[in-house]
Structure 1
Amino acid sequence: MVGFVNRPHPKHFPSMQTVFWAKPPSGWVKVNVDGSACENPGLSGGGGIYRRDDGRFVLAFSSAYGVGSNNQAEIRAIYDGIILCLDRGFSKIIVETDLKVAARLLSGTLATSWNWKPWVARIKSLVHAAELVFSVIPREGNGPADGMAREASGTQASIVISHYRDLPPHIRGLLFLDKVGLGVVRDTRVKM
């Protein structure tokens, strides 16, 4: 007996895209940042992961922000990420976030809401202190920074980690996958 499998028409397959973390150019450091809130609004925090042009881990941070939204936490994490870079002597910095609205806020193409205005102004004031480039990555490609932000919002503890071995194991795993060039699959029908 011959059987047939009913397969869905190709138009029913989700659109998939593989997201890869890209290394920064030679001489640059990239800080991926993210914000998290346990509820929105709720206890919030931000986090970031710094990597060199060869993909090596440099530094990570988690910052507790108290009650706020995930977007507020992301804007604050961008600021904290830049400040830590400057404190460590980095002058060529790529700040990568999964919050598309952040790029519009920082470029001036979107009006700043009153509760973000002070942080956006602080970020813009740092543009003269270093070469700053802002980029956006889909949320699936920002897993290590998301992990650090969730740590901060969940524990309300602020930490800086300078040794790879001190990172939580799941974040070390995500960094390894990024470094060897394995991407994360995302459904492009999902709106961010």
Structure 2
Amino acid sequence: MTLYYSTILSTNCKHFFGYAVWASISYRWIWKLPGPQKFRLFIWLCDNSSGRGEMSPIRFLTVLWTVWTTRNPSVINWVKMNTDGAAKGNPGLSSFGGVIRNSIGGWELGFMGKISYASNLVAELWAIREGLQIAWEFGYRHLIVESDSTVALQLLTSQDTNFHPADTLVRDCKALICRQWAIKLQHVFREANQVADGLANLISSNANSLYVLTNPPSRIKDALLADVRGTLFQRM
């Protein structure tokens, strides 16, 4: 059986002139809110549920959260990717790692791999490139990319890197960034990049390997939990 909005409104009004109140000036603000009709109806029902035109604190907070998430969907849909690269000897045997987390810091996926021989900068750029490719393939379209390598981020925002030794990697990253999605590049201090650093140093397989992780390894769970809690680390 289909219930129309008018039926729901008349059923849930707690006073005789329900329709008059619904059409009155005092409720026009509800029907002008952005979002689908069911969202506005939900707020109206909350406002009328007590029969006094007042909402309980819990209902009021629920309404505020609904309004905020409706008017700010991009904030909720963004995910953050932290990347890191390391070279033993610089240059030397290199590895990289990264993690993608949702808006509340929860694990989405991670990745880690090895490069046969590279510098720290190449490892950092390699991590960003692989992370961008993985994020695209998994369907993320609003991505904040954080790296503790200032040089890598400067290269990715530079207009001309033709004569830089890492130009090929930089071009690969820029090509991925220019796809149809929203990307933000941000610098993060090493102390706040512990999860990606842990993944970069965790891998012990053969060279030129890449692993995508749907669950966090046990050895980096403490760092992951510290990030969620917002634990502060002293800079060395």
Regarding TM over 0.5, the answer is yes
The residue aligned with 1:38 is 88
C-alpha contact 1:105 1:112 (8 A) present in aligned 2: no
TM-score (normalizing by structure 1): 0.77
| CA distance 1:184–1:81, change in 2 (3 Å) | same
Question: How far is 1:113 from its partner?
Answer: 5.0
- Per the alignment, residue 132 of structure 1 pairs with 183
- Find the aligned partners of 2:82 and 2:162 in 1 and give their Cα distance: 22
Cα separation, partners in 2 of 1:94 and 1:59, compared to 1, 3 Å: same
User: RCO higher in 1 or 2 (8 Å CA, sep ≥ 6)?
Assistant: 1
Going by fraction, where is strand more abundant, 1 or 2?
Answer: 1
Compared with structure 1, are the counterparts of its residues 104 and 64 closer, same or farther at alpha carbon in structure 2 (3 Å cutoff)?
same
Counterpart residue type for residue 30 of structure 1: K
1:168 corresponds to 2:218? yes
Which structure has greater helix proportion? 2
Q: Kindly indicate whether the alpha-carbon contact (under 8 Å) linking 2:125 and 2:152 is maintained by their aligned counterparts in 1.
A: yes
The Cα of 1:28 is off from its aligned counterpart by 0.7
| Counterpart check, 1:182 vs 2:182 | no
Q: Does 1:81 align with 2:131?
A: yes
Gaps of at least 5 residues in structure 2 are 1-73
Tell me how many residue pairs correspond in the alignment. Answer: 160
The TM-score normalised by the length of structure 2 is 0.64
The correspondence of residues 1-192 of structure 1 with structure 2, limited to 5 A, is 25-108=75-158, 111=161, 114-129=164-179, 130-152=181-203, 154-156=204-206, 157-164=209-216, 167-169=217-219, 171-187=220-236
Q: Which amino acid aligns with 1:138?
A: F
Contact 2:132/2:177, CA 8 A, preserved across alignment:
no
For 2:151 and 2:170, the matched residues in 1 are separated by 12
Q: Which whole-Å CA distance do the structure 2 matches of 1:127 and 1:59 have between them?
A: 19
Partner of 2:68: none
Runs of 4+ in 1 over 6 A off after TM superposition: none
Deviations 1:18-55 (A, max 9, x none): xxxxxx94211111000011221111111001100011
The answer on whether the counterparts of 1:42 and 1:67 sit within 8 Å (CA) in structure 2 is yes
Overall identity of the aligned pairs, in %: 31
Q: Specify the SS of the correspondent of 1:151.
A: coil
Aligned partners of 1:104 and 1:110 also within 8 Å: no
RMSD: 1.8
The structure with the largest alpha-carbon Rg is 2
Question: Unpaired runs of 5+ in structure 1?
Answer: 1-23, 188-192
Aligned AA (1:120): V
Give 2:7's aligned residue: none
For the 8 Å contact 1:31–1:48, the answer to whether it is kept is yes
CA distance in 2, matches of 1:36, 1:77: 10
